[in-house]
Amino acid sequence: MSLLEVTGLQVSFNTADGVVRAVRGVSFAVDRGRTLGIVGESGSGKSVTAQTLMRLTPDATIRGTALFEGADLLTADGRAMRAIRGAEIAMIFQDPLSSLHPLYKVGWQIEEMIRAHEPAAGRAQARKRAIEMLGLVGIPQPASRVDDYPHQFSGGMRQRAMIAMALALNPKLIIADEPTTALDATVQAQILDLMRRLQGEFDTALIMITHDLGVIADMADEVLVMYGGKPAERAGRRTLYYRHHHPYTKGLLESVPSAAGEGGRLKPIPGQPPSLINLPTGCVFHPRCPYVMDRCRTDEPPLDPVAGDDPAHLSACWLPRTAAGRGEEAERIRAAAVAEGRFGAQGAAGAEGAAGDGRDGGPPGRAGGASGDGGGR
Ligand SMILES: Nc1ncnc2c1ncn2[C@@H]1O[C@H](COP(=O)(O)OP(=O)(O)OP(=O)(O)O)[C@@H](O)[C@H]1O
Ligand code: SF4
Ligand SMILES: [Mg+2]
């Protein structure tokens, strides 16, 4: 059994405008020392998934199970959850100020968390640990910075302090929700590097949430691509980058800034994410999909295995699942699309890419980083 096993998670909110179906059947598992990347555009249900696991969505209607070491997080009582949060599962948020209290010294906040979970630890011992943790995440002169207030730290330092706090109790699982989005590229790379190093050292399981596939290109063992509250595709990292099946994954890869390369053009996915109150019929991606077929508008594709050498490769798309089938289908769709005048030469070329074997659909800018490592750690 995996450290965390989420099965059939559904989360909805009753609002004045109607029921927001934020998460509509998500399943995944994470083991110790492994990293799961959860990727998707804004509003795809990534944060709601994470917050629900931590029981931070009190106003939601929740279905499914989330077994952490065999016990269901979704039905655990308040006391059990307080013991789990921080000590067993820690969460790092996009905005460190949402977890760091502005009126208390950074070190004091780390000390308090240690003492809340380990009553036997004295104040001096907790302070020593807080200083150690700040040093570990690369805060210079931690013995004096421990008495700084959050506003005296830079954005990157606050994010490091959050990581220090998340690691202070040596949790088995860390959920990082866009931990570097607000930071500039250099600091972002340093923080990701740090997280990867510490994860290896402590054998922590990591769920890394991001809207940018580039962020997890070097990091994730497995990737779950979410669209409209549901998984569009799930696969090992290399499969996802080089042999993806779902047109939405292809679109996300083409919108990765580094994929455009120097002087290259970024291709955002045209159209808007769906309304979670009035979902489209059939495939939820069909209004934006360049490969849309008649059945896509009426029948919802199940998340099923894709033929290939990755048994864990699943995709929710009606396009053929074998490379040969995808090639033929791509040609048929391309010809139909051009005949109908739906696409110019560029769109037609794109159609071949996604429905072919996907090798040409990889992230050109990340090829060096994502290949050459022999596939996973
Ligand atoms: N408490 C709530 N009440 C009503 N709707 C909510 C609530 N929390 C989230 N939602 C809605 O659920 C949907 C999914 O939100 P979520 O925050 O999970 O998106 P996300 O994938 O994390 O996006 P982003 O990349 O912008 O962070 C959104 O439409 C959001 O407005
Ligand atoms: S099922 Fe159809 S509309 Fe949906 S992603 Fe696949 S081809 Fe596109
Ligand atoms: Mg979010």
**Which tens digit of pLDDT belongs to each residue from 294-305?**
999 999 999 999
Angle between helices 323-339 and 345-355 (to 10 degrees): 160
Confidence (pLDDT) at 366: 31
Domain that holds residue 241: 237-368
Tell whether 161 and 243 lie within a shared domain.
Answer: no
pLDDT at position 13, please? 98
Amino acid 167: pLDDT: 85
Answer whether residue 291 is part of any domain. Answer: yes
Cα–Cα distance between 37 and 215 in angstroms, integer?
Answer: 9
Does residue 163 sit in the same domain as residue 244?
no
Task: Give the domain-ending residue among 168, 199, 222.
Answer: 168
- Mean predicted confidence (pLDDT) in 345-374: 36
The DSSP code sequence of 215-227 is GGTTT-SEEEEEE
The residue to which tokens 């508008």 are assigned: 297
Q: Is residue 272 assigned to a domain?
A: yes
Q: Is a pLDDT exceeding 90 seen at residue 149?
A: yes
Q: What is the mean pLDDT of the chain?
A: 84
Helix (H, G, I), strand (E, B) or coil at 173: strand
Starting from the CA of residue 225, give the closest ligand: 1
334 within some domain: yes
Residue given tokens 């290109």 in the structure block: 217
One domain for residues 252 and 364: yes
CA–CA separation, 248 and 355 (whole Å)? 12
Amino acid at 319: L
- Given a contact cutoff of 8 angstroms between Cβ atoms, the answer to whether 273 and 41 are in contact is yes
User: How many structural domains compose the chain?
Assistant: 2
Last residue of a domain, one of 110, 134, 168: 168
Q: What is the pLDDT of residues 168-178, one digit of tens each?
A: 888 999 999 98
Is any atom of ligand 2 closer than 6 Å to the C-beta of 274? no
Q: How far apart are the CA of 29 and the centre of ligand 1, in A?
A: 22
Tell me whether residue 325 is in a domain. Answer: yes
Q: What does the angle CA 187 – CA 191 – CA 193 come to, to the nearest 5 degrees?
A: 115
Task: Decide if pLDDT at 370 tops 90.
Answer: no
Last-in-domain residue among 150, 168, 186:
168
At 323 the pLDDT is 63
Reported as a pLDDT band with limits 50, 70 and 90, residue 330 is low
124: Cβ contacts below 8 Å, ≥ 6 apart: none
Q: pLDDT tens digits for 254-273?
A: 887 655 555 556 678 889 99
Residue to mutate, 289, 298, 306, ligand 2, most ligand atoms under 8 Å from C-beta? 289
Residue 159 sits in the same domain as residue 245: no
DSSP 344: -
Residue nearest to atom 12 of ligand 1 (CA): 22
For residues 270 and 350, the answer to whether their CB atoms sit within 8 Å is no
DSSP character string of 32-76? TT-EEEEE-STTSSHHHHHHHHTT--TTEEEEEEEEETTEETTT-
Q: How many whole angstroms separate alpha carbon 81 and alpha carbon 71?
A: 11
Whole-prediction pTM: 0.85
Residue 40 CB–ligand 1 contact under 6 Å: yes
Radius of gyration of the chain (CA): 22
Q: Which two tokens stand for residue 178?
A: 């866009």
Same domain, 246 and 362: yes
Residue 214 DSSP one-character state: G
Whether residues 241 and 359 share a domain: the answer is yes
CA angle 36, 279, 244 (to 5 degrees): 35
Is 361 in the same domain as 251?
yes
Nearest-ligand number for the alpha carbon of 44: 1
